[in-house]
Amino acid sequence: MFFQAPRAGREAMGTQHKLPLLLAALAAACTSSPAPVPVVGAAGDIALLAGEWSGRYDSPATERRGTIIFRLEAGRDTAHGDVTMIPRGWTRPLGPAQDPAAVARDAPIPEVLKIRFVRLEGGKLSGTLDPYRDPDCGCAVYTTFTGVLKGDAIEGTFIARPSVGLLYRGTWQATRKKKEGG
């Protein structure tokens, strides 16, 4: 776990103190795997989701966008996946709500948001993300998503509900990586 110094302390810290933290964070990010995600549904439905998926999402209302990765091995009911969010005007991803370092706009640690739960029934997908801290209001945001699985593609929408303010919507899509040699 990384500690973020108070703002006054950060301003006094030189680059030599920030570089080791940044290098450690990047090394951890490169060696970690996406968080486990429970997948609920009939075995036949879950089998349709097997594979490596990647995609993007976009919310015109907030000008936020990001990437999605998701991997489910055949015969398993737990996948691995993350969402990386980059708010408008930011050059780094947003972090989880419980991470105090994510509140500071100049925190050097890139982080991803965790997909908490996925349900698949009859080709229709739904799920939730772990709450994250909104960079505009500083409040927790609770996000649900839905989508439709069609072959090697999923297209859907999401609704984000800040604990303060109005909800906003967006769209997302993901495609399954083609198997090598297939």
On whether residue 132 sits in a domain, the answer given is yes
DSSP codes of every residue in the chain: ---PPPHHHHHH--HHHHHHHHHHHHHHHHH--PPEEEEES-HHHHHTT-EEEEEEEEETTTTEEEEEEEEE-TT-SEEEEEEEEE-TT-SS---BTT-GGGGSTT------EEEEEEEEETTEEEEEE--EE-TTT-SEEEEEEEEEEETTEEEEEEEEEESSS--EEEEEEEEEPPPTT-
On whether residue 120 sits in a domain, the answer given is yes
Confidence of residue 103 (pLDDT cuts 50, 70, 90): low
pLDDT of 152 over the 60 cut:
yes
Instruction: Provide the domain count of the chain.
Output: 1
What span, in angstroms and rounded, lies between the C-alpha atoms of 128 and 9? 36
95 vs 121, more confident: 121
What CATH number does residue 152 fall under? 2.40.128
On whether residue 139 sits in a domain, the answer given is yes
Q: Residue 140 has what pLDDT? A: 93
On whether residue 75 sits in a domain, the answer given is yes
Q: Residue 94 has what pLDDT? A: 61
On whether residue 1 sits in a domain, the answer given is no
Least confident range of 53-57, 68-72, 99-103, 158-162 = 99-103
Q: Residue 182 has what pLDDT? A: 57
Confidence of residue 88 (pLDDT cuts 50, 70, 90): low
Q: Residue 99 has what pLDDT? A: 55
| 119: containing domain | 7-176
Nearest CA among 169, 106, 164 for reference residue 136: 164
Q: Residue 180 has what pLDDT? A: 72
Q: For 2-51, how does the pLDDT look when each residue is reduced to its tens digit (9 = 90+)?
A: 233 333 333 333 434 333 333 333 333 443 466 788 899 999 999 999 99
